[in-house]
Each structure stands twice: as C-alpha cells, then as structure tokens.
Structure 1
Amino acid sequence: MPQGGYPGVMPNGPYPISPTPHSKLAAGLLSIFLGCFGVGNFYLGRTGRGVAQLMLTLIGFLFFFIGPTIAIIWGLIEGILILTSSTGSFWHRDARGWELMD
C-alpha cells in the first residue's frame, strides 16, 4: 500500500472533489453583513482571517469601538471583492483553491 493510506494514485490529485462547492453570492453576502465576525471567511475555510476579524471585533470593544469599525469596513470591502470577482482570481476561490459557484 502506498504511503499515506491510499490504495493507489488518486485520479483527480491529492484531494477528492469538493462535495459541496461554495456559493459566490453566499460568501459575498456573509462577508458584507456578518463580516465583522469573520463569518464569510469561516464559510470559505479561511479560518485564520475569520479568527482575526472576530478577535478584532471582540477585543476592539475595549478600545472605544475602533476595532469593530475596522472589522466592518474589512468585511464590506471583502464582500464587494468576492461579489465582483471573475473566474480565476483570488477572490473567486475558497481556501482550498476551488472555484466558487456563481
């Protein structure tokens, strides 16, 4: 048996085909409306960015609402970039590199 536990070479590369492709519209709207909590990034599998937005919002409340304002603007810009993205661009892919479904 080959190393890694697979019985042979996988025909589509090292990862299986994504069972549920992510929606471009859902990702964009989640980023616009819930972006300050990092929901759009969590949906796309970008957990590092999602945690950064969430922490910026939660910890930012201690500093006179500056953090949440930055996180809201970040989510708004990110959502617009996702919704206006074209096939092949960074904003039209999830964390694993799969194209978003239009």
Structure 2
Amino acid sequence: MENFTDKGKTSALVAYMTIIGSVIAIFMNQDENKSEFGSFHIRQALGLFISFFLLGYFVGYANSWTATSAFYLFYFILWIYGFVGALQMQKREIPLIGHFFQNLFKSL
C-alpha cells in the first residue's frame, strides 16, 4: 500500500459527498496542497456524478420502475466502491468507467 497523506484522504472523501463536494475537493487539492491520491478520487467521483446526471436524465424518461431502480442500484454500488476505496487509502478505479474518467479529467 502506498503512503498517502491525510490531506489527500480528506479531499478524496469530500469528493464523494455530492457534486458540490467534488467541486470543493478540487479547490482543496490545489497547488501546494496537491495530492495524487486526492486527484485520483476527485476524478473518479466527479465522473461518477456527471455520468449519473447525464444518464439519469434519459433513464427517467423510461417511465419504468424496474429500469429506474436498477439504475439507482448500479450507481449506488459504484459510489460505495469508490468511497470505500478512498476510506481504505487505495487507488482502485471504478469498474467499467473508472479508466475513462481518469483520462477525461487528467488535468485535475
């Protein structure tokens, strides 16, 4: 296990607390306070929230209890996976879409 600072862990955990938490974590992880661990989880959380809103917009039009429930359950499991990784100080990409988020938000 790599040795990460507590400041990186704090910004990583804040990133998973809603989309506003992701924006706050971006500002927490600036310049002299920049942590690779924090940046990794900020990219994961921000991508997860943005994709949730984009895909959720279309799933909402399905007007199906089954489709909507499956969508929420799927994203809740991905959120738990990322949040637990941040708690355990591990850099694990979110399955299926984590690598895409790392490439898309590599400037953060």
> What is the TM-score when the length of structure 2 is the normalising length?
0.39
Q: Structure 1 or 2: larger helix share?
A: 2
Q: Looking at CA atoms only, which structure, 1 or 2, has the larger radius of gyration?
A: 1
Taking structure 1 as the reference length, the TM-score comes to 0.41
